[in-house]
Structure 1
């Protein structure tokens, strides 16, 4: 149940140009609202497109293969410390999970 000082639903407001909507979190951060139903996010699902995605994944995986595991863990932890999303995932609020 939402308290009277907090709105139950955040209002989306246009920010800048391009029609991108932003929502303000309770912590005061402006986050973009991503409309995954927009045609720009459409992914082709034919056999050729799946094969191309598979080749791209395997190529990227081979390129990352030379990074020693200890270095990869260090880099991921360092990047995660700077990420609000990672912080919310790995350091949940003790009073319960808050919606993102």
Structure 2
């Protein structure tokens, strides 16, 4: 998935789940849109569904504390996907 496609999916989640319409990529979601830690967990759950992955609690906690913009969410997902895909591949090959 390209970054643009990822961003489109994230914006769709924001509109449908949080009624946040088209935040700028670098908006501070908490300060500008009231996006709190519970919202962050719900977003991560939606992303898990989209990508068919399961993040451990420590990973979710870390993301929840450090991600504040759409760009950071995209960066986070792009960093996590290779790790998740490698884990899946290792499991299949065993």
Give the TM-score, by structure 2 length: 0.27
Between structures 1 and 2, the one with greater strand share: 1
CA radius of gyration, larger in: 1
Higher relative contact order (CA 8 A, sep 6+): 2
Bigger helix fraction:
2
Normalising by structure 1, report the TM-score.
0.26
